[in-house]
Amino acid sequence: MPLDNTTAPLIDSFGRKVTYLRLSVTDRCDLRCTYCMAENMTFLPRREVLSLEELAQLSDVFIRHGVRKLRLTGGEPLVRRDVMDLFKDLSKYLQSGMLDELTLTTNGTLLAKYAETLAACGVKRVNVSLDTLDPARYREVTRIGDIRMVLAGIDAAISAGLQVKLNAVASRGAFEDEVDALIAFAHARGADLTLIEEMPLGDTGLDRSQSVLSLRDLQADLAKRWTLTPQRKNSGGPARYMRVEQTGGQIGFISPMSCNFCALCNRVRVSCMGQLYTCMGDEGSVDLRAPLRHSETAVEGTIRAALMAKPERHSFDLDRMAEPAVTRHMSALGG
């Protein structure tokens, strides 16, 4: 496909321009985090997952129609065989100036292996999921994880020159006692920490109404111990940022449950099967696999039609957390 960035941008019916694509490369993961998936997951047959070449073709269409930021997700993107080939292929858009940022969200277990290659592909920063520093609770949250692998991955990423941002899903209970340690850990390494409200995605076997923690409440609690100063920083996502004066670092707050931010939504998500989701909090999706295998024009037309049906806002409700708002697990799109 020719590298041409003169085509019309992707805009939904509310005038929101899509400049950010979150592309899932696999639904598989080497962890089983309690807020993300069930303990005994059934993953997609490999034949139903788009090839790396097809993922690259889809990315090309979105980039040439105005997407400036591309994040690879999973599941866990680094468990996808030969995924570095996709990063290498996509790096040409950074070199041409058509893409501002190529990045990924990872659980960090394989980051030590791939950090230098990612940096060589032009990746400047990575988001690493880390909900606790306690090895026993880490294993409890992830069901099977070894925190030493993640800590080694974070160190390797920093050594490779990558900017690291830690993501932590806020929850009632032990997390509230550990969040100060996470702040200190992140900021001591020059990393930001982003706190995320748990979302009612898929049946994980647990009652989220007992674990969900409003970030409004958590921020108020943090303000008793830390001096928080609002920042104007915009990373292209929904986070609100606060500077922690005692450390000089930043905390991001992503509050889909307690503070709706959909008016500024600039992103869409594509699953590893080629399903386009214009809203994470909505069941609706459209298939891009069939039109991709037909023609580029068919893909573009399908994307534009889907954007015209993009809902104004998500359907999450903080007061209705006991049952999933959508049946899809978080691991299907990587959050």
The model's pLDDT over 103-125, given as tens digits with 9 standing for 90+, comes to 999 999 999 999 999 999 999 99
Angle (CA) 21 158 35, round 5°:
50
Name the pLDDT band for 190 (thresholds 50, 70, 90).
very high
Is 71 known to sit in a ligand binding site?
yes
> How many angstroms separate the CA atoms of 154 and 164, rounded?
7
Q: What's the whole-number mean pLDDT along residues 212-237? A: 87
Q: What is the pLDDT of residue 4?
A: 45
214 domain-assigned: yes
Q: Is the per-residue pLDDT at 235 higher than 70?
A: no
> How many angstroms separate the CA atoms of 76 and 107, rounded?
7
Q: What percent of the chain has pLDDT over 90?
A: 67
Name the pLDDT band for 319 (thresholds 50, 70, 90).
low
Q: Is the per-residue pLDDT at 250 higher than 90?
A: yes
Q: Is 40 strand, coil or helix?
A: coil
117 domain-assigned: yes
Is 121 known to sit in a ligand binding site?
no
Is 259 known to sit in a ligand binding site?
no
Is 29 known to sit in a ligand binding site?
yes
> What's 195's domain CATH number?
3.20.20.70
Name the pLDDT band for 318 (thresholds 50, 70, 90).
low
Instruction: Give the DSSP per-residue string, 251-274.
Output: EEEE-TTTS--GGG--EEEE-TTS
Q: Which residue has the higher pLDDT, 290 or 320?
A: 290
5 domain-assigned: no
H or E segment at 216?
Answer: helix 215-222
Name the pLDDT band for 238 (thresholds 50, 70, 90).
confident
Is 59 known to sit in a ligand binding site?
no
7 domain-assigned: no
Q: What percent of the chain has pLDDT over 70?
A: 84
Q: What is the pLDDT of residue 202?
A: 57
Is 272 known to sit in a ligand binding site?
no
Give whole-number Cα distances, 233 to 76, 218, 244, in Å.
27, 20, 14
**Identity at 68, one-letter amino acid code:** R
Mean pLDDT of the chain, nearest integer: 88
- For residue range 135-178, what is the model confidence (pLDDT) as tens digits? 999 999 999 999 999 999 999 999 999 999 999 998 888 999 99
Is 204 known to sit in a ligand binding site?
no
Q: Is 38 strand, coil or helix?
A: coil
Is 36 known to sit in a ligand binding site?
yes
28 domain-assigned: yes
Give whole-number Cα distances, 304 to 63, 165, 298, in Å.
14, 32, 10
Is 129 known to sit in a ligand binding site?
yes
| Inter-helix orientation angle 83-96/52-64, to 10° | 20
Is 320 known to sit in a ligand binding site?
no
Name the pLDDT band for 214 (thresholds 50, 70, 90).
confident
207 domain-assigned: yes
Token pair listed for 157: 């990423």
- How many domains, the chain? 1
Domain range enclosing 145: 20-332
Full-model pTM? 0.87
3 domain-assigned: no
H or E segment at 126?
Answer: strand 125-129
Is 142 known to sit in a ligand binding site?
no
Is 242 known to sit in a ligand binding site?
no
Q: Which residue has the higher pLDDT, 138 or 36?
A: 138
Q: Is the per-residue pLDDT at 331 higher than 80?
A: no
15 domain-assigned: no
